[in-house]
Structure 1
């Protein structure tokens, strides 16, 4: 389980193909992975990955082909910056919202706007993400590259988030440009609520537009 409160940025050390899978090595800021264990979970750009090897501040993860298809992990290269969060522990403060690290799809950056301290990023929703659109609401929670964010504006084929300076300092959002791809995770409670409402309405013969 994760909270969506990104703990910082790490750098991809190497990416090595392993058949249809990928061996990913990530170098973390000094001391951020102290007492980390083999088999533990770490969110990389919001993707829940299992620690397979530890060498100081460099951790190795095995990424399966299904994950590569659904996420932006396959687009990473040595030197790429990624968001990371260690798994939450029982009793930790949940400052964001509960996240599983299971990505639904990816969204592409439509445009980035910065006016003084105001920073906005708009993401496109195309036909491939039409199912995800059902779960996106104005002021609703969303997980983007592992960060728990609030949707500040929404249209038929886009969503927008507004970021504070602290989020920009700790994450890769300040590096994003038009065309870049981010991972999208939908809040599990939102999914359950929407699915339940749609099922009840269908049973009553009410069809949503």
Structure 2
């Protein structure tokens, strides 16, 4: 479980394919605090630490993860947003984030707005009962960052980025066409699914 508050920017040091899997070597400022089997969110994708060597560690993405996220596009030198799993009893500064990416969206525009930035994202429109929708002032996770939705319409939304977030995440690399990991609000997904079940006619 995560909060969507990014701890650090990591750097991809190497990518190795083994069958359908990809092994990523990552350097981070908190590698010395990690342990084997620990969960770390990479651009919002929960991956397990399988090896630690100095200030670098290795995580593995299986085919299902590669298909549903943007990790397959990572290359040496790329920056990734990192967050370790939350500690029970601590403050939940963002919102409840599972680290289970729902789909990949695409940045359509980035606009500077007198000290902040507005990022516009489009995504696949799915059935409403799947809960992959946004609402104004609701929560959305983009590349692992907990954000508040500004504008929302079917298949599109925008978020406002403050300077700190812009500088301390990989958002400053965003441009039109950038693929981003999206995790929709878990509460919204449950509500949508329950509403759909309640509207389903019962068998006579």
Residue in 1 aligned with 2:2? Answer: 2
Residues in 2 aligned to 1:72 and 1:172: alpha-carbon distance in whole angstroms: 13
Residue 134 (structure 1) shift: 4.4
Partner of 2:99: 101
Question: Aligned with 1:192: secondary structure?
Answer: helix
Alignment match, 2:142: 144
1:207 corresponding residue in structure 2: none
| Structure 2 partner of 1:113 | 111
Partner residue in 2 for 1:25: 25
Match of 2:126 in 1: 130
Query: How is 1:53-202 mapped onto 2 (pairs within 5 angstroms)?
Result: 53-126=51-124, 129-131=125-127, 134-202=132-200
**TM-score, normalising length from structure 1?**
0.91
- 1:47 maps to which residue? 45
Query: How far does the alpha carbon of each residue in 1:143-196 deviate from its partner, in whole angstroms, 9 at most, with x for none?
Result: 111011111101233110001111112111111010010001122211111111
- SS of alignment partner, residue 192 of structure 2: helix
Computed over aligned residues only, the root mean square deviation of the Cα atoms, in angstroms, reads: 1.5
Distance change in 2, residues 1:104/1:203 (3 Å): same
For the 8 Å contact 1:120–1:163, the answer to whether it is kept is yes
Decide whether the 8 Å contact of 2:115 with 2:163 is kept in 1: yes
Q: What runs of 5+ residues in structure 2 fail to find an aligned partner?
A: none
Which consecutive residues of structure 1, in runs of 5 or more, have no partner in the other structure?
A: 205-209
